[in-house]
Copies of this chain bind each other. A is one copy, B any other.
């Protein structure tokens, strides 16, 4: 997921809620079917098998790479194999970027190599690298407070460490250095930015992720150090002698070179309202360093598996269920934005959406973002999910996570499912995002939740906007 996921949440408390448990949205038969679907999902290993297939047969799939193209072919084939009624692609256009290699070393006073990774979208250093004195800042605010020109000819280093929190709330305060830090440092005269990785692990593996240059300011190269290397650099600086660092990035921006990829869309066609879509979203692209098993192989896998379980029923639910595997999420929700642009006359047919793009844990909470009249139905859904350990948030402000936030901005109702994210940022945007990090049992619970949600929303006919 990108940093766009961490939106600010207005706190709309359900003070006006009136529950009416007797006005059920589902027939007894529907409810029985949902309980069957739940058992199917909980006993099936399908989502894990799909993730194993994606990560073994495709692997890394950054937008514009050969892996990205293979992923699109893989997704189309997998949807057809898994019983979707309609499968198609919609072209998405972005631009190229070359990661190249990253080298970082402390030159003096104590020569040490460091593990670093270029931030996504970074420019390269001069071909021979650069060597300069490092100035440490505790966080982005300290960098922002530096005097103009005080970093002239120097490397800015932000050592802020992300906090581990179950809901991923440590990400926002950390990721702003990755997004905005390079241009802020450049504005003070810095020739490069290095930062502690946005991650909660202690592995000698850097975390990449997109930066956002301010186009009015010179673009400087930017890289993230692994957490142990950030410790090392800070411990070295703490000794009080000038510290010189060598940095060489062979990264290259190629903003004028277009690359094409695609959103891959599969539909279980509704039996009575086929032109109304319950949407499950995930992103098909990944960063180029791991195999994207977690980010967002898990989302791809649970949405495909959930739709498959419903497709395997003898009858279709009333509305269509649309799984959208978005392209180019990691570089700024590019596929989702292009989807909304292409479907702008059709967004009212998207009755509700849920994304999965946050990892490895069991879902513990559901937050709706629906019209006030639909809250009773959400409560019914919550009662179906409660035995899976999912509680209902008192808030009603969900606007869609990650890609789905682009659809949510058009007014589409949404549900956010919140998983235990304690481990997520150990692997996020690293080489370490591999299949072994996927919890097969949590995946079953996740799949059961998405299966129930999508069947409920498709079969009940509720207008979630009202």
Identify the A interface with B (CB < 8 A).
52, 55-60, 66, 110-113, 115, 202-205, 227-228, 231-232, 235-236, 239, 290-291, 430-432, 434-437
Contact = CB atoms under 8 A, between A and B. Distances in A.
B57 A232 contact: no
Contacts of A58: 110
Contacts of A434: 202, 204, 228, 231-232
B59 A231 contact: no
A235 B56 contact: yes
B231 A57 contact: no
A357 to B, nearest CB: 21
B203 A432 contact: yes
A203 B290 CA distance: 11
Q: Which of A56, A57, A227 has the most CB of B within 10 A?
A: A56
Nearest to A431: B204
3 shortest A-B CB distances, which residue pairs? Answer: A228-B434, A204-B431, A59-B112
A228 B57 CA distance: 15
A113 B55 CA distance: 12
Contact of A432 (B60, B204, B236, B239): B204
Nearest to A109: B57
Nearest to A236: B56
Contacts of A115: 431
| Identical copies of this chain, number | 2
A437 B110 contact: no
A203 B427 CA distance: 10
Contact of A56 (B232, B290, B291, B430): B232
A279 to B, nearest CB: 30
Given A56-B110, A115-B431, A232-B435, A205 B202 contact: no
Contacts of A110: 56-59
B202 A232 contact: no
27 contacts: A52-B235, A55-B232, A56-B235, A56-B236, A57-B110, A59-B111, A59-B113, A59-B232, A60-B112, A60-B113, A66-B111, A202-B432, A202-B434, A203-B203, A203-B205, A203-B432, A204-B205, A204-B290, A204-B430, A204-B432, A204-B434, A227-B436, A228-B432, A228-B434, A228-B436, A231-B436, A235-B435
Given A56-B236, A60-B113, A204-B431, 6 more contacts: A56-B110, A57-B110, A59-B111, A112-B291, A204-B432, A232-B291
A113 to B, nearest CB: 8
Contact of A205 (B56, B57, B113, B205): B205
Contacts of A432: 202-204, 228
Contacts of A437: 202
Contacts of A435: 228, 231-232, 235
Contacts of A113: 59-60
A58 B56 CA distance: 40
A302 B57 CA distance: 48
